[in-house]
Amino acid sequence: MTVDRSTLLDCLADWGRTVEKFHRLPADRQAAFLLRQGYPRFGDLLAHVTGWWQEGIHVVEGARADAHFVYAEPDTDAFNARVVKHAQGQNEAALEAQFEAMRVRMAHLVEESPAEVLAHPLAQAWLSADILEHYEEHRLPATVFLALGSNLGDRLANLHTAVDALAPEVRVWAKSRVYETPPWGYADQPAFLNMAVQAETDLTPEALLRRLKQIEVEVGRQPSFRYGPRQIDLDILFYDDLVLESDVLTVPHPRLHERAFVLVPLLDLAPEWMHPVLGKSVASLLTGQDQSGIHLYME
Ligand code: A4P
Ligand code: MG
């Protein structure tokens, strides 16, 4: 695989977003992430990434200075020991400043380097092996919000079965209460039960959609018509603050801001969450919506 300039820049920008995302997580999710990654503190992760970038700068600059630059991969234990030493005794704010400075420097270097420098076999070997893979390995899972609806069969059991089926790929960390809601879009059908969940996942948006469609079938969804009755409907509301529009998937969900049956459960979970396109919080999207007929069904 060849690492081109834009892939590398995307990856660097994502690292910056990862840090922002980390700070937005509740404390227990931060702790769970660090534990999974084997870092005692967030500063250790920052130091590690910064250390890798420093090596990358040596490689890219070395490739520019001397086509015969030999990059000897430092032995990993020695490298890690250096990183730990570097992180010790520094407070996290200082490490974060350093991380940010390094991110800017690396991005600048990528922008400024002649294409042949980045294409140099040494630079390519290092970039693809270390920066990109390292990034994949330490990427924070996405925070997602899903809407669930059912108006056929045992509605409550359908919701619960679907929530339980999400694991292990989709790890639910908060559930809204369950609301009974009058049918929207096509009135001549039974009332819905609606709820929302907040979860984290390593699945891409498209893979997440495929998984949700599978669960709909597992729970027993029969083909119906648009806005028609169903055993279960699973929609992706938000995927981090991603904005995406493809043939199969639109994120944020294109109609979420018009639907009290989605916004009321979402309000239980994340009143302050910002809609990345409309620039409004969930709470303010709900203001002025018709909420008549919606009532709490179960705590
Ligand atoms: N799709 C695109 N974006 C998304 C997304 N963010 N999440 C595509 C999920 N799917 C998304 O969905 C049709 C296709 O939309 C998917 O295959 C996917 O490629 P579907 O669930 O198969 O079809 P649908 O549900 O009949 O159509 P649609 O437009 O998704 O309907 P809604 O919006 O889900 O509405 N009233 C109440 N009170 N409560 C309800 O839950 N639900 C509906 C269904 C109607 N009225 C309701 C409720
Ligand atoms: Mg749907």
CATH of the domain at 169: 3.30.70.560
* Euclidean distance between CA atoms 188 and 184, whole angstroms: 10
Please check whether residues 193 and 132 belong to one and the same domain.
no
Catalytic (active site) residue 233: yes
Please check whether residues 197 and 183 belong to one and the same domain.
yes
Nearest CA residue ID for atom 32, ligand 1: 227
Last residue of a domain, one of 138, 155, 187: 138
Which of 44, 103, 233, 241 is the catalytic position? 233
Catalytic (active site) residue 5: no
Q: What is the pTM of this model?
A: 0.83
Q: How far is CA 77 from CA 36, 38, 56, in A?
A: 20, 15, 18
Mean pLDDT in residue range 285-293? 94
* Euclidean distance between CA atoms 107 and 90, whole angstroms: 24
Cβ-contact 201, 142 below 8 angstroms: yes
Nearest CA residue ID for atom 40, ligand 1: 149
Buried b (16+ CB within 10 A) or exposed e, 27-63: eebeebbbeeeebeebbbbbbbbbbbbbbbeebbebb
Last residue of a domain, one of 92, 122, 138: 138
Please check whether residues 58 and 174 belong to one and the same domain.
no
Angle between helices 92-112 and 42-65 (to 10 degrees): 30
Of residues 91 and 234, more confidently modeled = 234
pLDDT higher than threshold 50 for residue 133: yes
Domain count, the chain: 2
Percent of the chain with pLDDT over 70: 92
What residues line ligand 1, using a CB cutoff of 6 Å?
A: 149, 181-185, 192, 194, 209, 226-227, 233, 235-236, 248-251, 253, 255, 261
Of residues 284 and 134, more confidently modeled = 284
In which domain, by residue range, is 45 found? 5-138
Please check whether residues 120 and 186 belong to one and the same domain.
no
Nearest CA residue ID for atom 41, ligand 1: 149
pLDDT higher than threshold 70 for residue 23: yes
Please check whether residues 114 and 153 belong to one and the same domain.
no
Of residues 243 and 120, more confidently modeled = 243
* Euclidean distance between CA atoms 170 and 239, whole angstroms: 12
The structure tokens listed for 56 are: 């990358």
Catalytic (active site) residue 247: no
Q: Determine the distance separating the centroid of ligand 1 and the alpha carbon of 172, expressed in angstroms.
A: 21
* Euclidean distance between CA atoms 122 and 73, whole angstroms: 11
Label residue 96 by pLDDT band (50, 70, 90): confident
Last residue of a domain, one of 84, 117, 138: 138
Which of 44, 64, 103, 235 is the catalytic position? 235
pLDDT higher than threshold 70 for residue 74: no
Q: CA-based angle 233:234:238, to the nearest 5?
A: 145
Q: CA-based angle 172:176:180, to the nearest 5?
A: 130
Structure confidence at residue 77 (pLDDT): 64
